[in-house]
Amino acid sequence: MTLIIPQVILNRIHLHGEQSYPEEGAGLMLGEIIGQDHQVSEILPLENVREAGARYDRYQLSPQDYLKGEEEADRLGLEMVGVFHSHPDHPNRPSEFDRQWAWPNFSYLITSVIEGKAIESRSWRLSEDRARFSEELVEVGEQVNS
């Protein structure tokens, strides 16, 4: 299980997290599923639709956001492969809230943003029984040609 992501796209995810700080930023990752690996070739940054007082430690994407992601993936000949979000002033490990709202088979890239600066990203996948996340390898490389 590996999340393969170009450096330029990871930079965009980090920028989104920094611009969303001190709230959580989020969006969708689009790309290809190749065996057990998810290869990201585009992202769709989205607005955190959680109520104002809860955005500091929670994110929420609307059903319309997922529909928009599906439509954009179809338009580009890609698939939705996961979700990215930031943890402001918090480690980049999934919370219990993250587990409750996650879907198996998606990659969940979490970026720790400390004092407004993106520090590090790690990726996780939820088990089929939804009991736990397992960390997956993040392979950062050059731009993917779709």
All structural domains of the chain with their residue ranges: 2-140
Q: Considering only CA atoms, which of 36, 133, 51, 54 is closest in space to residue 92?
A: 133
Could you tell me the fold of the domain covering 2-140? Cytidine Deaminase; domain 2 (3.40.140)
Q: Can you say how many angstroms the Cα of residue 129 is from the centroid of all Cα atoms in its chain?
A: 21
pTM comes to 0.93
pLDDT of residue 103: 92
Q: Virtual CA dihedral for 76, 84, 128, 38, nearest 10 degrees? A: 50
Q: What is the pLDDT of residue 145?
A: 52
In angstroms, the CA 78 to CA 20 distance is: 26
User: From residue 131, how far is each of 29, 91, 100, 101, 108 by CA, in Å?
Assistant: 23, 20, 9, 12, 15
Quick one: pLDDT at residue 36? 95
Contact by Cβ (8 Å): 121, 114: no
Structure tokens at 101: 């709202």
| Predicted pLDDT of residue 137 | 98
Q: How many angstroms separate the CA atoms of 76 and 38, rounded?
A: 16
Task: Supply the pLDDT for residue 107.
Answer: 98
Question: Is the CB of residue 10 less than 8 Å from the CB of residue 121?
Answer: yes
Q: pLDDT in tens for each of the 146 residues of the chain?
A: 999 999 999 999 999 999 999 999 999 999 999 999 999 999 999 998 888 887 888 898 999 999 999 999 999 999 999 999 999 999 999 999 899 989 999 999 999 999 999 999 999 999 999 999 999 999 998 865 54
pLDDT of residue 143: 63
Centroid of chain to Cα 137:
14
| Alpha-carbon gap, residue 10 to 116, rounded angstroms | 16
